[in-house]
Amino acid sequence: MTDVLLTWLCSYLLHSSLLIGGLWAAERAGLLRRLATSTQEALWRLALLGGLLSASLPLLPALPGPALPALDAAASRVAAQDLAPRPVQLSERPVIIDAPVVASRPSAQLGALPLATSIEPKAHDIALGFIALWLAGALLMLLGLAAQWLWLRRAVRRLPELADPRWRALASQLAADAGVPLPALRHARAGWASPLIAPGRVLCLPGWCLDLPDDEARAVLGHELAHLRRRDPAWRLLAAVLRALLWPQALNRVALQRLDLLAELACDAAAAAPAGQRLALAQSLLRCAEALRGAGHGPALACGAASAGSPLFARVRRLLKPDGDAPRERRGLRWGLLAAMLAGLVALPAVVISHTDARELLERFDLGGLADGISERSFIGFPGVTRMVSRYPGGSFAVRLDGKVTFTEAEDDVQTLAGKLVVREREGGLTREMALKSMGDGRVEREYRVGRDSQPLDEAGRQWWTKAVQRMAEAMTDPLTRAKKLYAKGGMDAVLADVERAGEDLSRRQRIDAAVRLDQPLPSSAQDRLIAATNGLHGGFERREALSVIARLPLAEPQQLAWLAAVAGTDGDFERREALAAIAPRLLTTPAVLSAWIQALGHIGGDFELRSAIETQVAATPQPAVLAAALQAAARLQGDFEKRETLAAVARRLGGGETELVQAYTRLAGGIQGGFEKREALVALLDRGALGQAGLEQVIAMAEHMDGDFERLQVLLRVADKLAEAQPTPAGMVDRLRRAGRGLGEFERGQLEKALDRLG
């Protein structure tokens, strides 16, 4: 994996340097000056992200994949047709030629010779150190970015809400015109002199903005809402992640600065589009420039009207120019430039920095065992090359195959070989190695080593080689083909015994998958054995994949209970969520199964994964019992957004008249702290087709305790609309709404009274 990383990183640095550097040179030469802002932005985004794609494409064949175990089937066909000039029967074995036994020289000790003579420095040694430095730096920067993100989210949540009716009305109108959800309005933190969009769709306004006249206020709001419509906050976060992860590429900073400026220009154009707004926006930018003197711009992860380094006065001059001076180009030129950039991305994968092999460096330090033990179990495939690496306590087992190989029926020796096969095992301080090389005409040269010395194959060596061939045959033979052979010999018991015998995660998971794909009857006892076999899988990915395969079987209640218990023991929130999604369409709705499902969800710690798992199940089986279980499980959610989204998913499946479900729904909605999120959750319930008087009263009770006047008013107005749709109005509901509106501001109470007048 180290050589793959080095190949990818070097190729990325080269490709991205060519793309970004070339576009920068074109800009400096004035070739981009007359292009529209959207065209320039598309070109810079392709330059920023194109290097990732072009550097990754050549390495796709090198990634581990499920097709590798099928190598044996293909090898059998090739071996029977092309690899030998004469037919090879299954019972035949290759002609083995022992290589001359040559004793190796004793390895040089570092203390006996000068360092310069015992270890010659090589270029890839420095490269490997750079890989380690890159990964360490990326990890530290990503941790710092995560801490900055969490601090910003927390700081924004603590900001006071902006209750100014004028700004709220203007924001509502402009958001509706722009077709974006209304962001939450809050007072900006002291020191944030520029209006900005913070994570969570929160618009923070500094104090100087509140006194702006209506036209300038519309310009400020139009600029910030344009950021939301363009999804600039998400782009800014992606840019920050790329800058941290790919920090060795210094040119990324150039591309990101250009994209920041182009985003501001695009938002300026959107805000200035209405008649008479160009001058108003220019005046607001000048006020912002005045406020920025001696104050901070705001956090880096937020989208503001004036970010750090933003050329405010250049933007003002651009706004004051006539509309006809705005850069434009013909549509054919725009698409031609983008096509040329894409053509460059297609051509760049031909330029690849060759990978280096980290094993050579480790072997010179007598640390080859570390190379074999990098991972518990892995396949790495290059064109024509297959490597298998396995580590176990006290040793490691590694195979490198350059070519194709088949094994005897008894799986105790190699039958045909085209190319070279090297098998090495380290155990208890002893290293054994067998190197096989095809010599043509069915002949295979063999060299057996113990430590660094070649020697004849003795009885201990033959026993080791037999076991090594069995391990290779098990790992490199297609699992389904192996399962069919075992089923033909001993039925399903033989297949399940082979599953239980597998000691490594990959092998066991593949054998479970093959047992299911046999399409043979699997009684409940066999299903129990398959589910129990997943408990021996230590990796979260392997267990999730195995459980997902088993979930396709028609599992009865006892088996689903065992399956859900196995999911609860899986490592990783993502793996648990994906496994539960696999069984969602077939989950039984009995009380015992739903209780076990809730317990499995209880092991998911992340809000996003928990919410996604609940939403998937609710969408798959929208029955009242499932909806009640979903609301019970959703009580563990910590974030307001996740609670609101989960409640909305449940609300979409409610008929509206389920009293107990509505009570559970409103109770959970009442635990939401944010006014916007609580309002959206309650409105989602009100948008159902039917909701009885008891349900409406529960919604009113929850709205009565909301802090924000605007949010409370919106809920009460929606209740009034529901009552107007279901005339006549139940007795006492008008008075109940009026009592719930006590404490509202004068403007909000006036709006509520107008709505109540329509109810009579």
DSSP assignments along 562-595, one per residue? HHHHHHHT-SSHHHHHHHHHHHGGG---SHHHHH
Name the residue with higher pLDDT: 378 or 110: 378
- pLDDT confidence bin for 235, thresholds 50/70/90: confident
Nearest to 516 by CA among 477, 539, 558, 545: 545
SS (H, E, C) 122-168: CHHHHHHHHHHHHHHHHHHHHHHHHHHHHHHHHHHHCCCECCCHHHH
Specify the amino acid at residue 109. Q
List Cβ neighbours of 445 (8 Å cut-off, separation of 6 or more).
Answer: 97, 98, 99, 436, 437, 439
One domain for residues 145 and 263: yes
Name the more confident of 442 and 494.
Answer: 494
Kindly indicate the confidence band of residue 120, based on its pLDDT and cuts at 50, 70 and 90: very low
Q: Which of 413, 441, 476 is at the close of a domain?
A: 476
Residue 474 burial (C-beta neighbours within 10 Å; 0-12, 13-18, 19+): buried
Task: Summarize the confidence of residues 236-240 as an average pLDDT.
Answer: 88
pLDDT greater than 70 at residue 362: no
Instruction: Looking at the structure, tell me whether residues 664 and 714 fall in a common domain.
Output: yes
- The answer to whether residue 95 scores a pLDDT higher than 70 is no
Task: Read off the pLDDT of residues 594-637 as tens digits, 9 standing for 90 and up.
Answer: 999 999 999 998 889 999 999 999 999 988 899 999 999 999 99
Query: pLDDT digits over 569-594, tens only?
Result: 888 889 999 999 999 999 999 999 99
Residue 384 confidence class, pLDDT cut points 50, 70, 90: low
- Whether residues 195 and 278 fall in one domain: yes
Residues 422 and 551 in one domain: no
Percent pLDDT > 90 in the chain is 16
648 in any annotated domain: yes
Structural domains in the chain (count): 3
Q: What is the DSSP string of 355-376?
A: P--HHHHHHHTT-HHHHHTSSS
Residues 296 and 390 in one domain: no
- Looking at residue 60, its pLDDT comes to 57
- 398: alpha, beta or left? (left if phi > 0; alpha if psi -120 to 50): beta
Q: Are residues 694 and 569 in the same domain?
A: yes
How confident is the model at residue 90, as a pLDDT? Answer: 36
Over range 34-49, report the average pLDDT. 85
Give the number of other Cβ atoms within 10 Å of residue 283's Cβ: 17
- Give the list of residues 6+ apart from residue 128 with CB closer than 8 angstroms, or none: 2, 6, 356, 358, 361
- Mean pLDDT over 10-35 rounds to 84
pLDDT value at residue 422: 93
* Distance separating alpha carbons of residues 631 and 622, to the nearest angstrom: 12
Instruction: State the pLDDT at residue 615.
Output: 92
Q: Please state which of the ranges 98-102, 191-195, 442-446, 679-683 shows the lowest mean pLDDT.
A: 98-102
296 or 514, which is more confident:
514
Name residue 425's beta-bridge partners: 397, 432
Per the model's pLDDT, the better-predicted residue between 121 and 439 turns out to be 439
Q: Which residues are CB-contacts of 502 (< 8 A; sequence separation ≥ 6)?
A: 474, 508, 511
Give the count of beta carbons closer than 10 Å to the beta carbon of residue 210. Answer: 13
pLDDT at 94 over 80: no
Q: Is the pLDDT of residue 70 over 50?
A: no
- Domain assignment of residue 725, yes or no: yes
In the three-class reduction of DSSP (H, G, I as helix; E, B as strand; rest coil), residue 396 is classed as strand
Within a domain: 363: yes
- Domain assignment present for residue 729? The answer is yes
Residue % of the chain over a pLDDT of 70: 77
pLDDT category at 87 given cuts 50, 70, 90 is very low
Neighbours of 550 (CB within 10 A): 26
Q: What is the pLDDT of residue 617?
A: 92
pLDDT at 115 over 60: no
Residues 653 and 532 in one domain: yes
Res 727 pLDDT > 50: yes
Q: What is the pLDDT of residue 116?
A: 33
* 434 and 302 fall within a common domain: no
Q: In 3-state terms, what secondary structure has residue 378?
A: strand
Which of 476, 511, 531 is the last residue in one of the domains?
A: 476
Q: What is the mean pLDDT of residues 541-547?
A: 91
Cis amide prior to 728 (ω within 30 degrees): yes
| Mean pLDDT confidence for 496-506 | 85
Domain match, 528 and 472 both: no
Q: Is the pLDDT of residue 233 over 50?
A: yes
Residues 710 and 626 in one domain: yes
Q: What are the pLDDT digits (tens) for 629-661? A: 999 999 999 888 888 899 888 888 887 667 788
Predicted pLDDT of residue 295: 54
Domain co-membership, 463 together with 387: yes
User: Mind listing the pLDDT tens digit for each residue in 152-183?
Assistant: 888 888 888 888 889 889 999 898 888 888 89
Range 23-38 average pLDDT: 83
Q: Which pLDDT belongs to residue 298?
A: 58
Tell whether the model's pLDDT for residue 241 goes beyond 70.
yes
Q: Please give the radius of gyration of the chain, using alpha carbons only, rounded to the nearest integer.
A: 34
| Same-domain check for residues 541 and 634 | yes
Q: Do the domain assignments include residue 638?
A: yes
Answer whether residue 350 is part of any domain. no
- Position 482 in a domain: no
pLDDT exceeds cutoff 70 at 404: yes
pLDDT at 348 over 80: no
Which residue, of 321, 341, 369, is where some domain finishes?
A: 321
Digit-coded pLDDT (tens) for 443-458: 889 999 998 889 998 9
Nearest-angstrom CA–CA distance, 265 and 269? 6
Average pLDDT of the residues of the chain: 78
Ranges 6-15, 51-60, 346-355: which has the least confidence: 346-355
Those residues whose C-beta lies under 8 Å from the C-beta of residue 231, and which sit 6 or more positions away, are: none
Domain span at residue 670 reads: 521-757
pLDDT at 562: 93
> What pLDDT is recorded for position 411?
80
Asked if residue 439 belongs to a domain, the reply is yes
